[in-house]
Chains A and B, each alone.
Chain A
Amino acid sequence: MYLLRMAGLAAVLVVSLLFAVFVGDQGPWYFAWVVGTIMIILISGAGAILLDAQQEGKIGSSSETEL
């Protein structure tokens, strides 16, 4: 099972690399879109998690958290 999963991940990795090489060569902006969109999602997600962390740090210190 573990081996199977590793093999699956390796296959995904190879396909992504091939995709990156081909599309990065033929269509740099398409590639930029893929990478950029993932980045946007991760950054906005991280922002939300940061908000959770900011609030957990503040709880108890004041009665009303400011947002």
Chain B
Amino acid sequence: MDMINPTVVDLSRFQFALTALYHFMFVPLTLGLTFMLAAMETVYVVTGRKIYKDMAMFWGKLFGINFALGVATGITMEFEFGTNWSMYSRFFGDMFGTPLAIEGLMAFFMESTFVGLMFFGWDRLSKQGHLAVTYLVALGSNLSALWILIANAGMNVPHGSHFDPETMRLQFDGFVKLIFSPDAQAKFVHTSVAGYISAALLVMGVSAFYLLRGQHRQFAARSFRMAALFGIISTVAVITLGDVLGREDYMEQPTKIAAIEGLWHTSKPPYEPWILAALPDDAKQENHFEIGVPFVLTPLIAHDFNTPIIGMHELEDAAGPRIESGITAVAALHRYQETHQQADLDLFKAHEADLGFGFLATRHAPNQDVAAIPAENLQSVIAQTKPDILPNVFVTFWSFRLMVFLALYFFALFAISAYLSLKNKLERNTLILKACMWSIPLPILATEFGWITAEAGRQPWTVFNILPTFMSASSHSTSYMVFSLAGFALLYSIFIAAELYLMFKFARLGPDSHDTAHGTEDYTAQYAVAGTSHASGH
């Protein structure tokens, strides 16, 4: 086996991370705004007040600007599995491709078809008909996230598949196991609801901007209140599901949880502190300083007071025998591929569970051939491979903490905002309004940190404990990667500039309405005239 140029692997990882994080700047807003639009339109249909239609239309316009980029950058993700991760796609595609294709059939088609009607169908559909279309768009975009996260859960916890030595790949065998895996469930709800928060804070922030300037006051007050209530419940849900997800990682991906908590040595319950801040050093495998809250870690992760959490050093030691067994598995599998002897197949079957650890060791074997490791060097190869089982602790540790700190901040912000809005005391609390306005990008940042935690914490694997990342990439030349990276950098910069320009432009312009200092009745009467410009045909 020739090893893929490590620079190409790194560049492929960099490109995938860049494009995935970029894609996920737009997705959370899509997930959440669609349901917020649905909520606004529901109130419109129930009460018949025009102002709620204006809300749905105005926020719908911001949604549209954002949606286009979400769709566009999503195509990149579908391509990149094939273009840059061909070994991964061939090895895992039987299982991984299925949820992706279902996503297209079931969700993406629905979302994309109805989004056209949502924008263009205001005058062609009945009130109820249009509302149904809006709900279908919301459902479609969230179902889309569902199938993607089911696929992602498959990478992290590949239940529902088995390795087949005849085809040299993971064969899919458990549809229900895949869809209802606890990891997929928790991931989906956590991510979807994180999207609700992003959307709520966008609506709240822009409304705060209007309230601060005394513009569109009726419009802004209603949008603000809906968003604040939307946000506070979502924040509670996102924190709950974060805990569920953490527990799932604790059961299935102990290396990830140990890295998240910066836990180099197995914890001593119940005193073990939850580290608030530290400087993890991946090279020396220790934390340089730690500030922690005692007695928190054990109940947080294990949900009891006396279970020790395994630390990274102990996980490395436990991996030693698995690496040795994996080396036997890979060597037997290689011989079997060439000669098809039953004896090799039997030997492989006996060590099959550790196959991935054997793949991991190939990096340290002479000519990447584990069969060529001399007996006297076996222990040194195993020792070299051991630290490879850990993700980058610094990145995992800090991205997790930043996400958590931001979530706690959102909780406080939404709680205060919802209270002030319900009491009609918003306009005198300019500080809170300003905080809302400046916090608009923060939920998106928090979601990005969430992704970094989940995916950096999955390393060194693309399929957890089975296929190492360094084996998964396509064997390209560096120049290919430079070409595509340069293209992405250029195109994506133009996109973000255009998006921000339009977002700011339309947010500044505000809803097409005129201001009114009086009650909603005046507003409705006034708007009945001003609003007729919408009624023109298409």
Contacts and interface: CB of A to CB of B under 8 A. Distances in A.
Interface in A36-67: 36-37, 39-41, 43-45, 47-52, 54-56, 59, 64-67
Nearest to B237: A36
B342 interface: no
B39 A29 contact: no
A49 B47 contact: yes
B39 A45 contact: yes
Contacts of A64: 517
Given A29-B241, A45-B39, A45-B42, A39 B425 contact: no
A32 interface: yes
B361 interface: no
Contacts of A49: 43, 46-47
B519 A65 contact: yes
Contacts of B49: 52
B336 interface: no
A26 B47 CA distance: 38
Contacts of A47: 225-226, 228-229, 421-422
A33 B227 contact: no
A54 B424 contact: yes
Interface residues of A, number: 29
B39 A41 contact: yes
B401 interface: no
Nearest to B228: A47
A45 B43 CA distance: 6
B236 to A, nearest CB: 10
A45 B36 CA distance: 9
The main secondary structure of chain B at its interface with chain A is helix
Contact of B425 (A37, A44, A66): A66
A29 B186 contact: yes
Q: Which of A39, A44, A55, A66 has the most CB of B within 10 A?
A: A44
Contacts of A51: 221-222, 225, 421, 424
Contacts of A56: 519-520
B88 interface: no
Contacts of B35: 37, 40-41
Contacts of A8: none
B283 interface: no
Interface stretch (B8-16, B188-196, B313-321, B383-391): B188-196
Given A33-B189, A40-B234, A52 B517 contact: no
A43 B225 CA distance: 10
B312 interface: no
A52 B211 CA distance: 17
B529 interface: no
Interface string B19-54: 000000000000000011011101100110100100
A19 interface: no
Interface string B203-233: 0000000010000011011100111111001
Interface string A3-36: 0000000000000000000000011111011001
B509 interface: no
A48 B185 contact: no
B428 interface: yes
Contacts of B182: 29
Contacts of B222: 48, 51
A26 B46 contact: no
Contact of B188 (A30, A44, A66): A30
A17 to B, nearest CB: 19
A28 B233 contact: no
Given A45-B46, A47-B226, A26 B176 contact: yes
A59 B185 CA distance: 48
Nearest to B138: A37
A44 B519 CA distance: 20
Contact of A59 (B39, B427, B519): B519
B258 interface: no
Contacts of A40: 35, 39, 196, 229-230, 233-234
B180 A26 contact: yes
Contact of A67 (B36, B176, B185, B427): B427
Contacts of A50: 225, 422
Cβ-closest 4 pairs across A and B: A29-B185, A67-B221, A44-B229, A44-B226
Given A30-B189, A44-B229, 6 more contacts: A33-B193, A44-B39, A52-B49, A54-B424, A65-B517, A65-B518
17 contacts: A26-B176, A27-B179, A29-B182, A29-B188, A30-B180, A39-B233, A43-B233, A44-B36, A44-B229, A45-B39, A45-B226, A47-B229, A48-B225, A50-B225, A59-B518, A64-B517, A67-B220
